[in-house]
Structure 1
Amino acid sequence: MQLYTDAATSPTDQHSAAGILLVNDGQQHQFKQILPTSDNHTAEFLAAIAGFKTLLDQFGPNQAVFFFTDSKIVAESVSKAYSKNFAVELQTLLHLQDQCQVVITRWIPESQNHGAHQLAQQGLHL
């Protein structure tokens, strides 16, 4: 299972949305979701949380997951299991990841996260 997440935040009003792309057995499942008003870093954590909630709701626990994010702060925080400024969001994310069999988190450049990025942009206009 591959999970790609991204957040988009409108600079004018701080509205945010998540783009979630799940790839399972070659099949793509696309989701977009409005997030609480926040700054972009918080929105990236909230998008990752939404992604894992969606994965667990759609496919159940005990999945082996490759998690891709273009947010360095999310990827590094998960890797270290520590974040000074996003401790609550990180703990929520780690709790969701613990329900999976294994999670391998990878940072990818924005250019390789186009699907989730497009979904997040579309989510801003819901």
Structure 2
Amino acid sequence: MFSLYTDAATQPQSGLSAGGILIVHDHHQTQLKVELTATTNHTAEFEVARLGFEHLARLIGDACETTTVLFYTDSQIVSDSLAKKYAKHYQKLVDDLLAAQAPFQLVLTQWVPEKQNQGAHTLANQALHSAEERK
């Protein structure tokens, strides 16, 4: 079983977004900081979640089909949209995220408060600050 935590950070004035991905398996952590193409926080949350699943799929390869993933997000819209497989203004992003989850045997999505998602949150903010410094 793998635990996947994702979070996005967006700077509205610049339109820059970045994400943090934290993968936990057998007490080992993989931490990733990514720059995102999204320019709003909601779209960034979907994008980083998709990237997290894509990275995890590459990491474990064929084992995906027998792997359960506990997915943690502090984004209510991502959590709700996955439960319904629908989001009025974000359907393409929902479909892309569901496709990234498809290789796994089972994905259990859990909304968590931001304070319980500090690992991914910190990575996202670090990535955003790095992107802002380069701009």
Please give the range of the TM-score, normalised by the shorter of the 2 chains.
Answer: over 0.9
Contact 1:18 1:50 in 2 (8 A): no
RMSD: 0.9
Cα shift readout 1:15-56 (whole Å, capped 9, x = no counterpart): 000100000111010001000041000000001011101111
TM-score, normalising length: structure 1: 0.97
Where 1:90 maps in the other structure, the secondary structure is: helix
Alpha-carbon distance between aligned partners in 2 of 1:37 and 1:57, rounded to the nearest angstrom? 22
Pair 1:90-2:91 in alignment: no
Alpha-carbon distance between aligned partners in 2 of 1:97 and 1:74, rounded to the nearest angstrom? 13
Contact 1:6 1:116 in 2 (8 A): yes
Pair 1:78-2:82 in alignment: yes
Counterpart for residue 58 of structure 1: 59
What's the offset of the Cα at 1:14?
Answer: 1.2
Larger CA Rg, structure 1 vs 2: 2
Counterpart for residue 30 of structure 1: 31
Where 2:101 maps in the other structure, the secondary structure is: helix
Which runs of 5 or more residues in structure 2 are unaligned? Answer: none
Normalized per residue, the structure richer in helix is 2
Q: How many aligned positions are there?
A: 126
Where 1:33 maps in the other structure, the secondary structure is: strand
Counterpart for residue 42 of structure 1: 43
TM-score, normalising length: structure 2: 0.90
Where 2:88 maps in the other structure, the secondary structure is: coil
Contact 2:12 2:39 in 1 (8 A): no
